[in-house]
Amino acid sequence: MFYYHWSYLLLIPGMLLMFWAQMRVQGTYKKYAEIPSKMGMTGAQVAETILKRMGVYNVTVEPVAGQLTDHYDPSAKAVRLSEGIYNSNSLAAAAVAAHECGHVLQDVQGYKPMNLRAALVPAANLGSSLGPILVMAGLFIGAFKALIPIGIALFAAVIIFHVITLPVEFDASNRALKLIDELGILQGEEHRGARQVLSAAALTYVATALYAVLQLVQLILLSRER
């Protein structure tokens, strides 16, 4: 039967990698969320300090509900930090806040991969939700066979989005570490802790991209055998 097709085994390595990456980032975050920085600056203060020193005055720093929900919203010109980051003076909070400010600087400087990723968001959302459905419809209903390549093409947009996300996130982390060092926000071994937090977070993006690639390969193999 379709649901037990051997190609689904391809997804197992990706699922395991994603699980490991999530455990790694949660463990690393928990470790450094319990270590206060010597400067004692909260995540909000770190973000505000970086933006001010970089001459960026049209971006606000706001708290947002949830854990690890931190992000930069370029349309609203707002750095949104989860409550655990916004109010915390930990090494993890400093690293995450600086990372989001790295995205702000990308926006200010017109970093092309970031702009391209933003442009691909609608296509990626459509591809992730509709792509597999079209493939399955084509596999089960003969009259809809022509939908299979359309579904695969739509899902390919998801791959492109995740691939472009990698340099965007890596670049933001590199900018963050440089800013932390230049502004003296973290000192000595604290810098190593921040790097570990950001490196662990980067693994989740790698794992997600790999899993998406495996999904695409699985859909292609399934469609060919059917």
CA distances from 29 to 44, 74, 89, 155, 191 (A): 17, 25, 13, 32, 14
Choosing from 34, 48, 83, 100, the catalytic residue is: 100
80 membership: H or E segment, kind and range: strand 78-82
Q: Is 182 a catalytic residue?
A: no
Strand order in the sheet with 71-73: 60-64, 78-82, 71-73
Under DSSP, is residue 221 helix (H, G, I), strand (E, B) or coil? helix
Query: Cα(190)–Cα(37) distance, rounded to whole angstroms?
Result: 7
Residue 34, Cα to own-chain centre: how many angstroms? 23
By annotation, the residues acting in catalysis are 100
